[in-house]
């Protein structure tokens, strides 16, 4: 296969190659071609990628659902409004407030609620057969992680000041050489934590869809009758992906909240 292709252009190139081969009466594409075409991103004729469309669709769905749910405030919420309130109360009482405290957590709750909803909706959209998982794209998960990393440094410097932020990385009472080394490790750790956020989300979503497609492709490789074995495994993996999609959104939000709080809270003070 030709080299020098960009990652987001690769599936479209694969599709063109497959169509050309089939038109010429050649053999069908191999298994790796089929898997990559359904998992990796693709550039549309309008100049944007499929995963960009997925992110836009998720934002539109979240915004539209929010407007629809709270169009008529009521003392007795039901339906979509009740679902939103239960979600917000869960994130508030079990995630944000226990980590940040009620005073600071009240200011950050809208952000973490939006972050959780965005990741969860992107994950669930990828479970629709005709759509793709944007969070299975390293560029998308990295963009989310970079946003969190900028907040870690930005909020930490804003609350503690540049000197206070760096001082917070330095262990008090330790020798200078050891203290500087530990401070360097802490600084590198802040960058590593953001990278781990990106890789964890990407790997879980990519691997799950790869496993489902692998089970389905086995019917083409071995024998159509092998569907008796591969299809139940594919269905089980698909149902497992529903749970993993929710868990990964929760884990990403939880760790983001924890990292921001740790980087912007002084050692001398407890939670507000």
What pLDDT is recorded for position 36?
Answer: 55
Within 10 angstroms of residue 108's Cβ, the number of other Cβ atoms is: 19
pLDDT averaged over every residue in the chain: 80
Residue ranges of alpha helices (H) inside the chain are: 10-23, 31-39, 50-69, 80-91, 97-100, 102-125, 138-169, 176-221, 227-264
What pLDDT is recorded for position 27?
Answer: 52
What pLDDT is recorded for position 112?
Answer: 95
Beta bridge partners of 49: 43
What pLDDT is recorded for position 5?
Answer: 40
- For the chain, which residues make up each domain, given as ranges? 83-264
Q: How far is CA 138 from CA 28, 29, 37, 63, in A?
A: 29, 25, 16, 25
Q: Rounded CA gap, 252 and 145, in Å?
A: 9
Q: Rounded CA gap, 18 and 34, in Å?
A: 9
C-beta of residue 133 within 8 angstroms of C-beta of residue 126:
yes
For tokens 């497959």, the residue is 18
Stretches where the chain sits below pLDDT 70 are: 1-43, 266-272
Q: Rounded CA gap, 97 and 151, in Å?
A: 18
Angle value at C-alpha 155, between 255 and 60, nearest 5 degrees: 65
Q: Rounded CA gap, 192 and 149, in Å?
A: 10
What pLDDT is recorded for position 252?
Answer: 95
Q: Cα 230 from chain centroid?
A: 28
Kindly write down the DSSP assignment for every residue of 197-252, as one continuous string. Answer: HHHHHHHHHHHHHHHHHHHHHHHHHT-GGGHHHHHHHHHHHHHHHHHHHHHHHHHH
């Amino acid at each position: 296969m030709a080299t020098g292709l960009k990652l987001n252009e690769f599936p479209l190139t694969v599709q063109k190659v497959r169509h050309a081969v089939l038109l010429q009466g050649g053999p069908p594409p191999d298994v790796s071609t089929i898997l990559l075409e359904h998992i990796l991103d693709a550039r549309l004729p309008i100049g944007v990628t499929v995963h960009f469309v997925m992110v836009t669709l998720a934002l539109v769905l979240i915004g539209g659902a929010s407007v629809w749910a709270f169009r008529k405030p009521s003392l007795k919420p039901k339906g979509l409004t009740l679902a939103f309130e239960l979600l917000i109360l869960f994130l508030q009482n079990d995630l944000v407030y226990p980590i940040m405290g009620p005073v600071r957590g009240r200011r950050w709750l809208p952000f973490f609620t939006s972050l959780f909803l965005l990741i969860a909706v992107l994950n669930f959209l990828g479970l629709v057969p005709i759509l793709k998982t944007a969070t299975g794209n390293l560029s998308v998960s990295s963009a989310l992680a970079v946003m969190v990393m900028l907040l870690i440094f930005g909020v930490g410097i804003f609350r503690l000041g540049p000197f206070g932020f760096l001082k917070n990385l330095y262990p008090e009472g330790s020798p200078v050489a050891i203290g500087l080394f530990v401070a360097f490790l802490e600084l590198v750790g802040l960058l590593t934590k953001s990278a781990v956020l990106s890789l964890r989300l990407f790997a879980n979503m990519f691997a799950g869809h790869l496993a489902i497609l692998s089970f389905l492709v086995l019917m083409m490789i071995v024998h159509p009758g092998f569907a008796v074995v591969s299809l139940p495994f594919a269905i089980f993996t698909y149902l497992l992906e529903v749970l993993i999609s929710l868990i990964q959104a929760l884990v990403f939000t939880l760790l983001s909240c924890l990292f921001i709080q740790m980087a912007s809270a002084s050692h001398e003070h407890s939670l507000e």
